[in-house]
Chains A and B, each alone.
Chain A
């Protein structure tokens, strides 16, 4: 009987290892299978209308830069999108990467999935939930880079803009043209403009929101103070509350970087970066007026706790002080509605209100942020994907959103007084974005978040200065820093 020598054994093992490694290498280098064309009839023409030239930032910015009043909504569409895509017997697999306020929104998406599958039994929907926005962004980018894209993605406004610049999304106009249930005028124009390029719209907001004040209704009632509507009223209300022994009636949220900080100043009608994205605005008269108002509230009237702008007290600690009753008003976002509802210490003691109107009492400016629903270029089933988007934006589905403590993006739903009357904690968040408010999209330049951070840091430093002259010097230094951020961002 022949025996296997040690050498042969070693050679054989080495050969097997080499073959395995080579096979693995070949497999790893294999290309992705080409995307299958959609079963839906409308898919092909949509794919061919996607512009091939890469977008410049300026071309997108043109459409997004102008401030706009909220669009006048149309009557609520009641009909659901019709099943019209796959031939009978063929099951379409639709993959979705849902977003918008992960956590409290999961229930909404699960209901949405059930509803969609009832209406479109030939479509199997897979929801790929992600734990947070960072993870979602990574998944979306990785899928687009690999060429194996989901059919619907939900993206935060800045990221949506980036995807439009990168020519990674399908235009949606042609899809909604054949959809009688959808009217783009029902959605925040600022957010629609942000993803509009060369007349084509690449996303529709499933979620739109702006900052607001939350206030302690129990303390207001106890001290006979009414919720203010103008900035002058706000000052009077805060002074009245201070006279009752509350040391600092007002607080700014501790997390005021970037969009919250920018939003705070837009509320005064001024921006951090000029709308063309080129210049810092920190030394403009309007910006300084806005900072001066806040500086006076901290240093002269002593109505705002100076600790909240030092960065020394965290956003959580500030919120905890509000819950405790140390502060009676706090800049916040409606994304906290669900957690406020769940907090036993807050029940019946709080309400939201739109931020105060400008001193003249005529208009309110707000930056609107949110989440878009988009169809990535290369999606296998754009028609079904649109049907999913359309249903999620329809009045039928949107009217369920206030129940989970979020804000519907469809204005036709938010105008429904009977419905919104049931959710008084959500209503002011809607009012904050409706006329006469002038809404602004976040400026669509990659350097704006960094410029916003630099600007807010300069403002924080200025607000801590004991004299206004010293504060202006700090703003001047900040202005140069913000301009450096802009110039550097433009160079990249």
Chain B
């Protein structure tokens, strides 16, 4: 028997022992985060799932009700109108934000005077808290004293009741106001990501396209856009997820700020919130949010499958 034949199992044993130690050490360091995730994320999520199958007012023990909440949610006309609002809001704001961000990012990707100042000023709205942004626009759209109606009056147009419409859902002008706030606040962040992506496009590709005789528009659609498409997909997915979860502007502008008022423009999340925390129906509110989770999961998974198949960008995600 050779020495190497004797030494191999010993070495193998040591290697395994070493790997085990490394794994345990790794988990040891991870334990704080894992503990936090377990206590503050996983347990509440699982409890939320359990609660969605119960009748629970937040007091006493939840009473098991099986699929009752889900069946009621799916036949609830107010839930479906909240889906319409959420879908319309998402379908309008996400493409608009991405298109606007892309245009601005392309413009700011050139050598402009005070380029950094301009970039920063475009990004500032993204760091303004939602509540402050809503208050700002609330003043601007105020019926009597708002800047918008004063500007309309200056142009000889009758003042418009932006924040006090009686219709519900997307027919209420609050819906338009929220879209405006969302565009103002949302595009800075998206622009920054797309700007970074634009700066990563290899200049050789543009040079090669130029040599091939491509003009500026052709280069944009044939070189720039395909090169940054993984990043566009990324911002598209995170924007969709963010917009579907939209809560604050609808809650504050739609009347949810006062305990006795209903919300005029109800999204899925405000509806779940009102059901759980205003009507004390936590089981029902949890069921709404689990339906929202399923919608978002299906959408995101489908989007990823469709967008990455055959593009060679699977690895990015």
Contacts and interface: CB of A to CB of B under 8 A. Distances in A.
Interface of A: 7, 10-11, 13-15, 17-18, 20-22, 24-25, 28, 54, 133-134, 141, 144-145, 162-163, 165-168, 255, 257-260, 310-314, 317, 446-447, 449-450, 453-454, 457, 460-461, 484-485, 488, 491-492
Contact of B281 (A11, A163, A492): A492
A168 B60 contact: yes
A10 B161 contact: no
B132 interface: no
Interface string B20-31: 010011111101
Contacts of A18: 27-28, 31
Nearest to A254: B164
B35 A259 contact: no
Contacts of A314: 143, 164
Contact of B59 (A10, A133, A166, A311): A166
* Size range of the chain B interface in the assembly: 35 or more
**Closest A-B pairs by Cβ, 5 of them:** A14-B28, A311-B164, A453-B262, A312-B161, A21-B35
A357 B78 CA distance: 38
B261 A141 contact: no
Contacts of B31: 14, 17-18, 20-22
B34 interface: yes
B32 interface: yes
B164 A258 contact: no
A133 B25 contact: no
A460 to B, nearest CB: 5
A446 B281 contact: yes
B168 interface: yes
Nearest to B164: A311
B144 interface: yes
Contact of B60 (A25, A167, A485): A167
A457 B69 CA distance: 27
Nearest to B31: A21
Nearest to A144: B59
Given A11-B21, A13-B28, A141-B58, A313 B164 contact: yes
A28 B44 CA distance: 13
B161 A15 contact: no
Contact of A15 (B28, B144, B279): B28
A22 B34 CA distance: 11
A14 B25 contact: yes
11 contacts: A11-B21, A11-B24, A163-B59, A166-B59, A168-B59, A310-B164, A310-B166, A312-B161, A312-B164, A457-B166, A457-B168
Contact of A21 (B24, B32, B58, B166): B32
Nearest to A138: B277
Given A310-B166, A311-B165, A488-B78, A25 B281 contact: no
Nearest to B255: A257
B29 A17 contact: yes
B57 interface: yes
B161 A491 contact: no
B164 A257 contact: no
A13 B76 CA distance: 54
B184 interface: no
B28 A166 contact: no
Contact of B24 (A13, A14, A446): A14
A446 B59 contact: no
- Central interface residue in B31, B165, B260, B284, by most chain A CB within 10 Å: B260
B166 A166 contact: no
B258 interface: yes
A385 B195 CA distance: 64
B144 A317 contact: yes
Contacts of B278: 449
B261 A492 contact: no
B262 A484 contact: no
Contacts of A453: 260-262
B57 A166 contact: yes
- Central interface residue in A24, A449, A492, by most chain B CB within 10 Å: A492
B289 to A, nearest CB: 15
B39 interface: yes
B161 A310 contact: yes
Contacts of A133: 259
A11 B26 CA distance: 9
A31 to B, nearest CB: 14
Contacts of B166: 310-311, 457, 460-461
A310 B262 CA distance: 16
B153 interface: no
B259 A134 contact: yes
B258 A255 contact: yes
B255 A145 contact: no
Nearest to A474: B166
Nearest to B21: A11
Nearest to A459: B166
Nearest to B275: A492
Interface in B166-191: 166, 168
B165 A14 contact: no
A197 B76 CA distance: 30
A133 B260 CA distance: 11
Contacts of A259: 260
Contacts of A258: 260-262
B161 A20 contact: no
B165 A166 contact: no
A7 B164 CA distance: 66
Interface in B62-90: 63, 69, 72, 75-78
B287 to A, nearest CB: 10
Contacts of A311: 161, 164-166
A41 to B, nearest CB: 28
B279 A450 contact: yes
